[in-house]
Amino acid sequence: MTKTTDLRYQPGFSLITWFCIAFLYAPIAVLVWFSFNQNRSVTVWTEFSLDWYVKAWHNEGIQNAALVSLEVAVIAMILSTIMATMAALVTTRTAPYRGLNLSVAVINQPLMVPEVVTAVATLIFFAIIKQATGVTGIGYLIAAHTAFCIPFAYMPIRARLEDMDLSLEQAGADLYAPPFKVFRRITLPLMMPGILAGAMLAFIVSLDDVIITLFVAGPGETTLPIYILGQIRRGVTPEINAVSTVFLGISVILVTFIFLFGKGKNLGKQ
Amino acid sequence: MPAQSTTHTLLSASVVAEEKRQRHKRFSLLAPGILTIFCIGIMPLSIVLIYSVLEPGDYGGVSWVLSFDAYVQLLFEEDIFDETLTFTTSFLQIFLRSIGLGLFTTIACLLIGFPTAYFIATQPVKRRNVWLFLITIPFWTNLLIRTYAMLLILRDQGVVNLSLIKIGLIDKAIPILYTDFAVGLGLVYAYLPFMVLPIYASLEKLDFRLVEASYDLYATRFKVLKRIIIPLAKPGIAAGCILVLIPSLGAFITPAILGGGKSLMIGNLISLQFGQARNWPFGSAIALVLMVIVMLSLLTYLRSSARKGLTHD
Q: What is the three-class DSSP state of A237?
A: coil
Residues in chain A closer than 8 A to B152 (CB atoms)? 27, 30-31, 34, 42-43, 236, 241
pLDDT tens digits for B162-193?
888 888 888 888 888 899 999 999 999 999 99
**A125-128 — which CB contacts under 8 Å span 24+ positions?**
A125/B40, A125/B43, A125/B44, A125/B47, A126/A216, A127/B61, A128/B47
CA angle A151, A155, A157 (to 5 degrees): 115
Query: What CATH class does A59-269 carry?
Result: mainly alpha
What is the rounded end-to-end Cα distance, in angstroms, of chain B?
Answer: 47
Q: Which residue of A has its CA nearest to B269?
A: A116
CATH architecture assignment, domain B90-307: Orthogonal Bundle (1.10)
* pLDDT reported for residue B197: 93
* pLDDT reported for residue A3: 45
Question: How far is CA A174 from its chain centroid?
Answer: 39
Tell me the nearest-neighbour CA distance from A76 into chain B, angstroms. 12
Residues in chain B closer than 8 A to A82 (CB atoms)? 32
pLDDT tens digits for B279-302?
899 999 999 999 999 999 988 888
Q: Which one of B22, B36, B300 would you mutate to disrupt binding with A, by most A Cβ within 10 Å of its Cβ?
A: B36
Q: Which one of B140, B160, B187, B210 would you mutate to disrupt binding with A, by most A Cβ within 10 Å of its Cβ?
A: B140
Distance CA(B260)–CA(B264), nearest Å, equals 7
pLDDT tens per residue across all 270 residues of chain A: 444 567 788 888 999 999 999 999 999 999 999 899 888 877 778 888 898 999 999 999 999 999 999 999 999 999 999 999 999 998 887 777 777 888 888 888 888 889 999 999 999 999 999 989 988 889 999 999 999 999 999 998 998 888 888 888 888 888 988 888 888 988 899 999 899 989 999 999 999 999 999 999 988 899 999 999 999 988 888 889 999 999 999 989 988 888 777 654 443 332
Q: Which residue of A has its CA nearest to B261?
A: A233
Number of other CB atoms surrounding residue B113 within 10 Å: 31
Sign of CA dihedral B232, B236, B242, B245: negative
* pLDDT reported for residue B313: 41
- For residues B177 and B260, the answer to whether their CB atoms sit within 8 Å is yes
Q: Is A122 on the interface with B (CB under 8 A)?
A: yes
Mean pLDDT by 10 residues, chain B (313 residues): 59 77 82 86 88 83 81 79 78 93 97 96 91 90 93 88 86 88 96 94 88 89 90 91 93 92 90 88 93 91 71 43
Axis-axis angle for helices B159-166, B143-154 (nearest 10) = 20
Restricting to A residues 33-72, those with a Cβ less than 8 Å away from any Cβ of B are 34, 41-43
Q: Which one of B30, B211, B268 would you mutate to disrupt binding with A, by most A Cβ within 10 Å of its Cβ?
A: B30
